[in-house]
Amino acid sequence: MKGYYKTDEWRIIEEGFNPEMQEASESIFSLGNGRMGQRANFEERYSGETLQGTYIAGVYYPDKTRVGWWKNGYPEYFAKVLNAPGWIGINVFIDGEELDLSRFRIEGFRRELNMKQGYLERTFEAVCENDKKVRVNAKRFLSMKEDEIGAIRYEVTLLNAPGTIMFVPHLDGNVRNRDSNYGEKFWTMEERDASEGSAHLVAKTRKSGFIACMAMRYEVKADGKVIRVIPEVTRKEDYVANTVSVDAEKDTSVVFYKYVSVLSSLNHERSVIVNNANQLADKALKKGFDKLFDEHAAIWEQNWAHSDIVVEGDTVAQQGIRFNIFQLNQTYTGRDERLNIGPKGFTGEKYGGSTYWDTEAYLIPFFLSTAPVEVARNLLIYRFKHLEKAIENAGKLGFKDGAALYPMVTMNGEECHNEWEITFEEIHRNGAIAYAIHNYINYTGDRDYLSEYGLEVLMAISRFWRQRVNWSDVRGKYVMLGVTGPNEYENNVNNNWYTNKIAVWTLKYTIEAIQYVSRHHPERYQEIVKKWDFNADRETADWIDIIDNMHFPHNEVKDVFLQQDGYMDKKQILAADLDPSERPINQHWSWDRILRSTLIKQADVLQGIYFFEEEYDPDTIRRNFDFYELRTVHESSLSPCVHSILASKLGRNKLAYELYLRTSRLDLDDYNREVSEGLHITSMGGTWMSIVYGFGGMRVIKGELHFNPLLPDKWESLSFKIMFRGRTLRVHIAKEGVSITNESEEALELYIYGERMKVKGKGEVWVKGRISE
């Protein structure tokens, strides 16, 4: 669908209505505010194909696992993000005929996502079966200021004759998840009521027991004046509504405003949730649409002030990065340490909306640089609070003595992934959580995090690695058998290089953390030792033995790190050899064929080289990049960004740019032909990385900032801001040179192209460009 949406620096625009694209557009034009989210479903009835989606952060359903062959240690459920009761609905009738774009003749349609101010607007003209022609303009937003409020402005104009417009604002609890394992409804209704001008509905999730409460208010205006209406009130088992009618003259616009509060039991006790919802809905009605919107837009202005990236000379690239940043900022705000970021965010049901290792590997870098330090810290604390559950998860698989295996997928710390090769084998996720602690401390300098939270997590993960490896008499080395690396087109392999690498790195880093905490926080260290019955001499000696004697697959002929033992036994098929009609291969090949191929879903060895780049010389990076890039099909959303960053480092300007476009426009151009299921939110952090770490060449090495930019040939300039240790820096890269402006009072020393320099408070440094390939 490349080119379906218009290219614009600040907007996503759909002109013309294509029913076959409706579900894709429902994903693309989704809205969120960190507390809740909404797919771009129509307010009025739509009888065509649609994936309804209203989502509330932290609310889930434990859908019982469905497998043909149960295995010990298997998760009992998959945590499904719930399609919550619908709040946006405003059914519309024109002289008794219900407005439905699947039946009406459409004479004009435009849908626009305004990323600068965070709203969705839709305008269309349609002709009813009774020949009445109508124009509708609908605008809605989820307030970033009042994050439990959604507001809709729905304007109807009769274009060729007067008539009666009937509005039916409602709350609808009759909802299902398309991906339910057993076709169950996940909600039961606890309470519903409606009266003139208002309604509320209370629903409770089965099993998990979450409460959601929605309260509705509305008003109708014509010529800017409120119209007094007398509604008909409807109360059903899972549905409440008002029905109001307005006699409208030709070319006179009637505007319907709907305000809804959306509350959950994560933040409100059941005994007060209805009262709180009604009070909040009243507050929204009193403030009105325009004031609510102005407050909301002001928050977006603040967000863009510190997270925007400006690309001059390439509107396609500019639109791509802003779309990614917009989605990241509306998915997670960092206000609540109980929340995390699901792969689809608030845009679809797939993957359960749960937490994956994606957060640690791809999202924390974005929030470290663009948000207050507490935001990234809260993401780490989220994992600390799940440490006991991680130990339970490891125990279910037979690990002991405080070993922790963090889940591949979780909502509450329990493993809830339904595929055995992921649940049991993709254990590299533990390493990403350890790496995130290092990444956070290296960036912020907040070494106290180790004594407060980090060391306990590192020790438990290291205990897991100690038990997961075994000594091989044949090799005279430690090995790790039966794993799946980041490349999920390989299962149950031995000695995945990346997994072995990050395990050894974690053991080393944990020993360093122990030394730091024991030296600088001795009392706290003794608390930790006692709490976890830690024998420092014995356990660290075991870890050092593994560090010194781990097996790492290597091919002497190619002089590359081997993805796993036996990788070179495969027929060496390259991605370029594939028939384009067979791409993506996961939609055309059998799983058996995929597993026997050399083709790589996403960065695996290269993921490790990216993480630990400082350990390898340029020739080692080049050899491994050239070998694995040729074999990678990039059928994971998480793959192109890592390759783009490494291509930039190697000076591969053209390839880096091509891979950047793939990651930044993955959803806008639907590369993987699945955007209808929801957006790839977590990979959007990788898009940001591909610019800042790739083209911007930014690294933090031993706590110090380094920049080695590479500007794509097509770009005139690139600008971005980062927050770093109390300073805000503006980086501007052009063909002529690189300038870094310190917008803070405190000076900072950093490196540009290896040259150390000092940027004074409120000062600027400039270096002549070394930009081209």
Active site residues: 488
- Distance in angstroms (rounded) separating the CA atoms of residues 585 and 602: 13
- Distance in angstroms (rounded) separating the CA atoms of residues 554 and 566: 10
The residues that bridge with 750 in the sheet, in sequence order, are: 757
Inter-axis angle of helices 681-689 and 315-331, to 10 degrees? Answer: 130
In a 3-state reduction of DSSP, which class is residue 18? coil
Q: Look at the block and give the residue holding tokens 């009666």.
A: 164
What is the chain's percent helix, strand, coil content, to nearest 5? 35, 25, 40
Q: Give the tokens for residue 349.
A: 């049901």
Q: What backbone phi and psi angles, to 5 degrees, belong to 546?
A: -65, -45
In a 3-state reduction of DSSP, which class is residue 552? coil
CA 347 to chain centre: 10
Task: Tell me the CA end-to-end span of the chain in Å, nearest whole number.
Answer: 31
> In 262-288, which ranges are continuous DSSP H helix?
270-287
Give the C-alpha distances (Å, rounded to integers) separating 642 from 18, 168, 412, 740. Answer: 35, 49, 29, 25
- Distance in angstroms (rounded) separating the CA atoms of residues 84 and 52: 9
- Distance in angstroms (rounded) separating the CA atoms of residues 301 and 386: 34
Burial of 20 (0-12, 13-18, 19+ CB in 10 A): exposed
Query: In sequence order, which residues have a C-beta less than 8 Å from that of residue 584 and are 6 or more positions away?
Result: 633, 635, 672, 673
Do the Cβ atoms of 224 and 186 come closer than 8 Å? no
